[in-house]
Amino acid sequence: MAITHVRTLNVPVSDQDRAKAFYTESLGFHVVVDNSMGPMRWLEVAPHGAATSIVLGAHPDMIPGSQQGILLTTNDIDRDCEQLRAAGVSVDGPEDQPWGRQASFTDPDGNGFLLSAA
């Protein structure tokens, strides 16, 4: 096998403009691609410098809000939780776990994220 990394992760959303605002304004991600492809729109966002990006869109076999347990890593979980709360995001934690500190939140559609300290 010559697989080197995960390129994209699909996160189903009901409203791409609302999702774009959440991921860029609340999470601080940047837009990698935002193109129309016929009747569809390819909207891809990522943390700055990340190798993996998130495609925000409708996939025929995925229900908005159905992605759970998407793990994001941070170097400052307390600061990031404060910034998320300041942006109006409901955050649970951070809490100490046997494997480290972790917090959780959802996007506007209910897709679930875990924020883990590096």
Q: Tell whether 58 is covered by a domain.
A: yes
Q: What is the torsional sign of CA 69, 61, 27, 29?
A: positive
Q: Is 67 among the domain residues?
A: yes
**Beta partners for 46?**
30
The C-alpha atoms of residue 101 and residue 95 are separated, in whole angstroms, by 5
- State pTM to two decimals: 0.93
pLDDT at 40: 87
Read off the CATH number of the domain in which 53 is found.
Answer: 3.10.180.10
What was the pLDDT predicted at 58?
72
Residue spans of alpha helices (H) in 11-76: 16-21
Is residue 3 assigned to a domain? no
pLDDT tens-place string over residues 11-26: 999 999 999 999 999 9
In a domain, 41, yes or no: yes
Question: What is the tally of structural domains in the chain?
Answer: 1
Taking alpha carbons only, the member of 20, 60, 17, 14 closest to residue 44 is: 20
Where residue 5 falls among pLDDT bands split at 50, 70, 90? Answer: confident
Band (116; pLDDT cuts 50, 70, 90): very high
In a domain, 110, yes or no: yes
The overall average pLDDT reported for the chain is 95
Q: What is residue 85's three-state secondary structure?
A: helix
Residue 118 has pLDDT above 80, yes or no: no
Range of the domain at 56: 8-117
Structure tokens at 70: 């998407």
- Which tens digits make up the pLDDT trace of 35-91? 998 888 999 999 999 999 999 997 778 899 999 999 999 999 999 999 999 999 999
C-beta of residue 101 within 8 angstroms of C-beta of residue 117: yes
Whether residue 43 lies inside any domain: the answer is: yes
